[in-house]
Amino acid sequence: MLTMKKRLLLPVGLLATLYLAGAAYSLHRLDIEQALVCADEGGLLIPAAAQVCRAYVFQLRGTTDDIARLQAGAGMGFVVQGRASAQHKAELVAFLQARGLDVNQPDAQGWLPLHASILARQPDEVAILLAHGADPLRVNDQQQTALALAQALQQRKPDAQLQRIIALLQTPPAAGR
């Protein structure tokens, strides 16, 4: 009977090893944006893929080339968007910021991360960006501060998320950030 179990376990172990090797190869081929999406949403047909991808990003990414690529493209706004929890987003922001990603750098379309999060009506993203040094006094290409943009949007179409954002932006830095 023991021999039969060994015969069954050998192919299963071999398949598992091949599967993990394929997953590692797939992770290695991802660019930084794809790795961040995987860390946010999972994927790659790997069980617990988001956790695997997050570990990959924290252990093997955040290189100078990764930061330059993010900075030239979607920037910090890309990092805070998505479905990950606020805690996971904050960890990624801190990790990438420590490696040089600028929280106040506009993306390739000229959007400041803070303004983009306001436009998307995402108070959790706004709070993360403010906590990591986003400048609420920087103006967008229409010369609006973050607060002015939030207030203009609230005036056009009032909404609870914008009210939360306005409250965050009106909180003095020493008390709220």
What is the pLDDT at residue 167? 97
pTM for this model (two decimals):
0.80
Give pLDDT, residue 51.
82
Q: What is the DSSP string of 10-75?
A: HHHHHHHHHHHHHHHHHHHT--HHHHHHHHHH--TT-TTHHHHHHHHHHHH---HHHHHHHHHTTH
- Mean pLDDT by runs of 10 across the 177 residues of the chain is 60 57 62 81 66 84 90 87 86 93 90 94 95 94 94 96 97 60
* 55 domain-assigned: yes
- pLDDT value at residue 40: 78
Per the domain annotation, does 16 fall within a domain? no
Residue burial 114-145, b: 16+ Cβ < 10 Å; e: rest: bbbbbeebbbbbbbbbbebebebeeebeeebb
In a domain, 157, yes or no: yes
Residue 23 belongs to a domain? no
Write out the residue range of the structural domain in which residue 99 sits: 28-176
The CATH number covering residue 91 comes to 1.25.40.20
Residue 1 domain flag = no
Query: Per the domain annotation, does 18 fall within a domain?
Result: no
The pLDDT value given to residue 2: 57
The number of folded domains in the chain is 1
Is residue 97 one of the residues assigned to a domain? Answer: yes
Question: For residue 127, is it within any domain?
Answer: yes
pLDDT at residue 47 in the model: 57
